[in-house]
Structure 1
Amino acid sequence: MLEHPLPSVEDWVLLFTNNSLPVLRLTRRRLDDMRADIDRVDARDLAKVILQDPIMTVRVLAYIQPLRGRSLQHDITTIASAVMMAGIIPFFNRFNELLTIEEQLSDASPQALLGVLQIIRRAQRAADYAQDWAIWRQDVNMEEVRIAALLHDLAEILVWCSAPALGLQIQAMQKANPGMRSADAQRQVLGCSFQDIQHALCGAWHLPDLLRELIDDDHADHPRVRNVVVATRLARHSANGWNDPALPDDFADIGGLLHLSVEAVRQRLGLSPHPAREAGD
């Protein structure tokens, strides 16, 4: 486990590209069960398992890029397509004896494991929101949007897995300074932001341009990117409880994306109607 930040973004990229990245223990268990009954497994079954795990998802996407070959004229941007290109048996041969996050952090503090699992749960919720809204918007490929939301905070997850003490330090700094921007806290502790690391990793893994764009908040004027952005914001803010002061703005942004009223957005999220204001308020 790293106790001190690495000198540069490039060093973080080398760390994550030269070492086997851990997946969720539940992911490994489910894949082991499927391996034991491999004749009944198809690409869609595998995709359902993989798409719950941000690190497993990016490992599959990175694995498939060199296999595409020059004959394929389009990028592989969905997990089922990636698995079909690789083949079921080669896939299981490649992803055998996976290291788990729980194993990697077994010697770290309980707060470190809890911290990374909370971030992953947040990513899963963001992916669910993004997928739901992509379906509502009749997006031609809702899985691309789901993957982008799942991977939006991937660098944060990876830093917590490899340097949990630094993740906890960033978390503590933000709690002590509620008005501090997340990127500022990251730069103070790491010397760079999670976004800096993420951009570099996307290039190192040769991820499809479409997914890189969907993950990048700088393209938020595009409706598909905005779908990802508002989903990740809602997941982040609601993790603090449904009374988080940032949520009204999130509801308004979601309403703008889906062309719904704020009350309709709250209803889609399963929240009680907002109390009516008293006269004179």
Structure 2
Amino acid sequence: MAARWFANLTTNARPDELPLLSQTSAALAEVLRDELAPLRRITGVVLRDPALALRVLQRANAVPRRHPSFQLRSLEEAAQMLGTRTLARLAGEAASERSLGDRPRIQAYRQTAGRAVLSALLALDWAELDRDRFPAEISLAALLHNLGERYLIAHGDARMQRYLDMVGRCNAYPHEVEYVTLGESLETIGYRLAGLWELPLLIREAMRARNAQHPRTLCVMLATQIARYACAGWPHPMQGQDLRLVAGLLDLDVAALRARINRVLDNFNVGVDTYALEPLPPLPLESGEAALPCEALFCLAPRADDYARAEQDLEGISKGRQVCEDRTAIFRTMLRGLHRGLGLSRVVVALYDPERHAVRAEHLIGTDFEPGFNRFVLPMSEAGLFAGLVENAGGVWLGDEPSAGLEMPEMVRALTGADSFFACSLRLGGQPLGLVYADRRDASCALDARSFQGFLRLVRMAEASLERLAEAAPGSEPEPGC
């Protein structure tokens, strides 16, 4: 049923379901009255409304060009392509957020738009400091990063209010709140919409967790995170880690980064009432320290039907009843079974790179809002027991009685922040392919023997499916659903 809902939602999605903010049309008209207004000032108004930015970008990329595959990647390029009359018409003809009806929905829509704008302003500041060649491209990707969230609010999904109520609590992680309120990842929804609407590559790729490895997409992800913390009023248990990651990316100390963030907040606060927000407080002095952890609000409930479906699909592939065209579909099936079927918070497939002699995260679930975790790279020289798992078939449950005596590699502890996890080798044709890692993020949501056995079983079934895929005759057609 969830898969059917997701397909219906995304297949029929239209960007014009995202209304403009009611002040946008008048603000743009005022700027355009000055015929000498610089392009940067005009696009600054467009940037302050994610829905208008989306329309401008889409309309400009729909204009026939000599090279159809080329996409405009910034608001400046798009606005220059369309001209001021078209910009004014786009803003004037669009519905406003008042068309959404009830007040809570309108307020939620305005607030999530405000958070997107703050993300864009932070990303722009950081990209310019880092001397990126196209900082406006990074800023635009940050502006549209929470596309899935804004679309569901505009679309009228009744579950979004419960999601927003829960996600503001210090002991609730966004991906886990999605699990219990929506049943689907907002970034998955956003990525699907961005592909359907043919948005530029950086916007799409910044919505994929594994791309936290790359500085430009990491900048987008971190700007989104810091904007979330700011709008929630600081602090959050993940805040210190993310700030230190930003500081490292920009080669700043945390004090200098705090000063830059607070300057951006001052700029944002000038028009904060547009977004149904009170002026946001500055980042406090203790910002670089880890916030006190909160006890978990809930643990993810295992879903036997999801686990059984993963078993059935993997068995079908391994026995030749169901043909699959690539590894990604197999990994996706396994990840969903482990995450939803067993209630494991975070699951990673880290593949072995023989040239770098390291394992690196390639497929992840449950980690959309954790860019630091998504940079899961382990050199074999520092991987400890993980290196042994890559080289020799086996599985471990570390941090509990079953694996007493095994030592947690310090680099793994720093990457994951977990004291207990499952890990299992992944092999193909007797050769190391990588490993699978899984945990329950909070210590109060303890791992258990039944989950460990289910984890091992599904990984081994995925291995068998990968073996079958490798043996399959070239040119075989995949069956629907794989």
Shorter-chain TM band: 0.7 to 0.9
Rounded to whole Å, the distance in 1 between the matches of 2:149 and 2:236 is 22
Q: Post-superposition shift, 1:169? A: 1.7
Partner of 1:8: helix, strand, or coil?
Answer: helix
CA contact (8 A) 2:18 2:150 kept: no
Q: Post-superposition shift, 1:174? A: 4.1
2:135 is equivalent to residue 138 of structure 1: no
Cross-structure match for 2:77: 81
Higher share of residues assigned helix: 1
Cross-structure match for 1:17: 14
Rounded to whole Å, the distance in 2 between the matches of 1:175 and 1:260 is 29
Alpha-carbon spacing, 1:180–1:266, altered in 2? closer, same or farther (3 Å): closer
Rounded to whole Å, the distance in 1 between the matches of 2:16 and 2:7 is 14
Cross-structure match for 1:104: 99
Cross-structure match for 2:122: 129
Query: Deviations for 1:100-149, whole angstroms, at most 9, x for unmatched residues?
Result: 11x123x31x3332222222221111111111111110111110111111
Q: Post-superposition shift, 1:19? A: 4.4
CA contact (8 A) 1:9 1:196 kept: no
Q: Post-superposition shift, 1:211? A: 2.8
Q: Post-superposition shift, 1:188? A: 3.8
Number of residue pairs aligned between Structure 1 and Structure 2: 267
Rounded to whole Å, the distance in 2 between the matches of 1:180 and 1:28 is 37
Partner of 2:13: helix, strand, or coil?
Answer: helix
Cross-structure match for 2:214: 222
Rounded to whole Å, the distance in 1 between the matches of 2:15 and 2:108 is 24
Tell which structure's C-alpha radius of gyration is larger: 2
Q: Mapping of 1:221-260 within 5 angstroms?
A: 221-260=213-252
Cross-structure match for 2:395: none
Rounded to whole Å, the distance in 2 between the matches of 1:94 and 1:238 is 31
Rounded to whole Å, the distance in 1 between the matches of 2:219 and 2:136 is 12
Structure 2 stretches of 5 or more lacking a match?
Answer: 263-282, 290-482
Rounded to whole Å, the distance in 2 between the matches of 1:71 and 1:273 is 51
Q: CA RMSD in A?
A: 2.8
CA contact (8 A) 2:109 2:154 kept: yes
Residue type of the alignment partner of 1:163: G
Partner of 1:92: helix, strand, or coil?
Answer: helix
Q: Mapping of 1:1-281 within 5 angstroms?
A: 7-17=4-14, 19-34=16-31, 37=33, 39-40=35-36, 43-71=39-67, 74-101=70-97, 103-105=98-100, 107-108=101-102, 110-163=103-156, 165-174=158-167, 179-270=171-262, 271=283, 273-274=285-286
Query: Deviations for 1:66-90, whole angstroms, at most 9, x for unmatched residues?
Result: 2142436632001121122223323
Cross-structure match for 2:335: none
Rounded to whole Å, the distance in 2 between the matches of 1:168 and 1:33 is 34
CA contact (8 A) 1:159 1:167 kept: yes
Q: Post-superposition shift, 1:228? A: 1.1
Q: Post-superposition shift, 1:179? A: 4.6
Alpha-carbon spacing, 1:207–1:272, altered in 2? closer, same or farther (3 Å): closer
CA contact (8 A) 2:25 2:88 kept: no
Structure 1 stretches of 5 or more lacking a match?
Answer: none
Q: Post-superposition shift, 1:265? A: 2.1
Partner of 1:74: helix, strand, or coil?
Answer: coil
CA contact (8 A) 1:42 1:88 kept: no
Residue type of the alignment partner of 1:265: L
Q: Percent identity?
A: 27
Query: Deviations for 1:205-248, whole angstroms, at most 9, x for unmatched residues?
Result: 11122332234332111111111111111111222223333321
Q: Tell which deviates more after alignment, 88-97 or 141-150.
A: 88-97
Residue type of the alignment partner of 2:114: R
Higher relative contact order structure (alpha carbons within 8 Å, sequence separation ≥ 6): 1
Query: Deviations for 1:172-217, whole angstroms, at most 9, x for unmatched residues?
Result: 34468x6554234334433422112111111111112233223433
CA contact (8 A) 1:238 1:244 kept: no
Residue type of the alignment partner of 1:28: S
Higher share of residues assigned strand: 2
Q: Post-superposition shift, 1:251? A: 1.9
Rounded to whole Å, the distance in 1 between the matches of 2:47 and 2:255 is 30
